[in-house]
Amino acid sequence: MKRGRACVVVLGDIGRSPRMQYHSLSLALQASLEVDIVAYGGSEPHMAVLQNQSIHIHKMKQWPVLPQGLPKLLKAMVLLLKPLFQFFVLLWHLCVTIPAPDVFIVQNPPSVPTLVAVKWASWLRNAAFIVDWHNFGYTLLALSLGRNSPFVTVYRWLERRYGRMANGSLCVTKAMQHELAQNWGIKATVLYDQPPEFFSPTSLEEKHKLFCRLNKYINQPHNIRDCASYGMGSHNVNETLFTTMVDGDILLKENRPALVVSSTSWTADEDFGILLEAAVMYDRRVAAILNENDSALDEVLWKDINEGKQYLYPRLLFVITGKGPEKEKYEEKIRRLHLKRVTFRTMWLSAEDYPLLLGSADIGVCLHTSSSGLDLPMKVVDMFGCGLPVCAVAYSCIKELVEVEKNGLLFSSPSELADELLMLFKGYPDECNTLKLLRNGALEKSSTRWASEWEEHAKPKITEVISKNAN
């Protein structure tokens, strides 16, 4: 019997599009379809996607990277020419490169030219098409051009018009479902992001192996001295900043720093400056609480900590993961900070190591504010999957995901975040009752997994759309 076929369309890096990777796995494993992914390359997808014999990845040619600071006229030309180039490359892949599918499932945003190209391809190949609404493309464009830009007006019109032509729609929140129904005339099924099985708490042995692999990034041997690198050479293969191996047993160090993880795309809808300011406030407030003299040498403090002395408040190591346009700007700001108890590391992890890092951390920080106010940060879902509680920026629908004082806390300013860090880490590592309570709540939240959510909400919609189109 001939297997059905689905095409998953992402006008972006498939390795940085986890939800569409999970769709592809579910289409292959739960709906027993052959799956073609049409997307850009860049980052490696999860090994489960690469190793599945029913999933076939087709990488498109990208628009060339242009230099910064183009004249206004050239910028306007690029805004017109780039989508035209993308449209024809995408249409070629959808109509010529891949076998004819029964259904296209497209990630939105970006909307232009994606929705137009997929609609044309679905018509030419007699296939259905489903839009998976992650956010609104016009609100993201408005971040850089302003809401009153004519480009934003045209973009919204195209997004709405072609979105309404879809045979079915999925979306990420009830708030977005309501907006699509009331103002766009689109009936969408809510498919909440849920963590797949490979997001889970990290065992002590896995933590030790991970930190051994990350030692060279954390220790920073390039003559950089801070509260994380002081005294940490690469001489002892059995010791990391967080763990040590004694007689074959792995132990967590009592004087280890608290590990705070934030995943960011380094874009305008995430104000990373909030985290930097909160870090500075934490550092200064701890020094004030402990009556430390401003002139006290940092290295005296670091030496004491390295020799096992514990303080009421721990050092904080922020590990920031992700790629994006504003990364270098903020890395330069980080280099100019001079902090006693707080330090930062930026890195990009493999799809296999990222869940291990989340499962090894003490708290996650989410700076996502949503250009539309209607989507939810998938990174928080991943954190909960690993039993990691979060501190997240408060905005309109975030409470659909974060239950305050159960699995996380919300903040609206750097000062609030600094207060939360002080409250959560007082007495670290053994006397942090609120932190333990939130961790239990995060583990409880992670009991629902992607496969069951997809089976209940997405599969019936996809099956219905394919069936209707075939008749």
**What is the model's pTM?**
0.87
Q: Please give the average per-residue pLDDT across 352-359, as a whole number.
A: 95
Residue 332: pLDDT over 70: yes
Residue 73: pLDDT over 90: no
User: What is the reported pLDDT for 292?
Assistant: 83
Residue 298: pLDDT over 90: no
Of 73-77, 236-240, 300-304, 437-441, the range with the highest mean pLDDT is 437-441
Residue 319 phi/psi, 5° resolution? Answer: -105, 120
User: What is the reported pLDDT for 145?
Assistant: 85
Q: Which residue has the tokens 């977005």?
A: 176
Q: pLDDT grade, residue 304 (50/70/90)? A: confident
User: What is the reported pLDDT for 4?
Assistant: 93
State the average pLDDT for the chain.
Answer: 90
Residue 86: pLDDT over 60: yes
The percent of residues in the chain predicted with pLDDT above 90, rounded, is 68
Residue 368: pLDDT over 70: yes
Radius of gyration of the chain (CA): 24
* Residues 321-331: b if buried by 16+ CB within 10 A, e if exposed: bbeeebbeebe
For residue 335, the cross-strand partners are none
Q: Please give the average per-residue pLDDT across 235-263, as a whole number.
A: 89
Q: pLDDT grade, residue 261 (50/70/90)? A: very high
Q: In this predicted model, which residue has the larger pLDDT, 231 or 31?
A: 31
44-53, 322-331, 380-389: range with lowest mean pLDDT:
322-331
User: What is the reported pLDDT for 2?
Assistant: 62
Q: pLDDT grade, residue 419 (50/70/90)? A: very high
Q: Please give the average per-residue pLDDT across 204-227, as a whole number.
A: 84
Task: Summarize pLDDT for 423-449 with one digit per residue, the tens.
Answer: 999 999 999 999 999 999 998 887 789
User: What is the reported pLDDT for 131?
Assistant: 98
Task: Summarize pLDDT for 113-154 with one digit per residue, the tens.
Answer: 999 999 999 999 999 999 999 999 999 989 888 889 998 999
Distance CA 357, CA 416 (A): 25
Task: Summarize pLDDT for 157-184 with one digit per residue, the tens.
Answer: 999 999 999 999 999 999 999 999 999 9
User: What is the reported pLDDT for 23?
Assistant: 98
User: What is the reported pLDDT for 3?
Assistant: 77
Q: Are 176 and 430 in contact (CB under 8 A)?
A: no
Q: Please give the average per-residue pLDDT across 51-78, as a whole number.
A: 82
Q: In this predicted model, which residue has the larger pLDDT, 228 or 410?
A: 410
Q: In this predicted model, which residue has the larger pLDDT, 14 or 237?
A: 14
Q: pLDDT grade, residue 74 (50/70/90)? A: confident
Q: Which residue has the tokens 């939130």?
A: 438
Of 250-254, 257-261, 287-291, the range with the highest mean pLDDT is 257-261
Q: Please give the average per-residue pLDDT across 100-107, as a whole number.
A: 97
Residue 72: pLDDT over 80: no
Residue 237: pLDDT over 90: no
Q: Are 236 and 219 in contact (CB under 8 A)?
A: no
Residue 234: pLDDT over 60: no
Residue 106: pLDDT over 60: yes
User: What is the reported pLDDT for 138?
Assistant: 94
The percent of residues in the chain predicted with pLDDT above 70, rounded, is 95
User: What is the reported pLDDT for 135?
Assistant: 94
Distance CA 101, CA 122 (A): 9
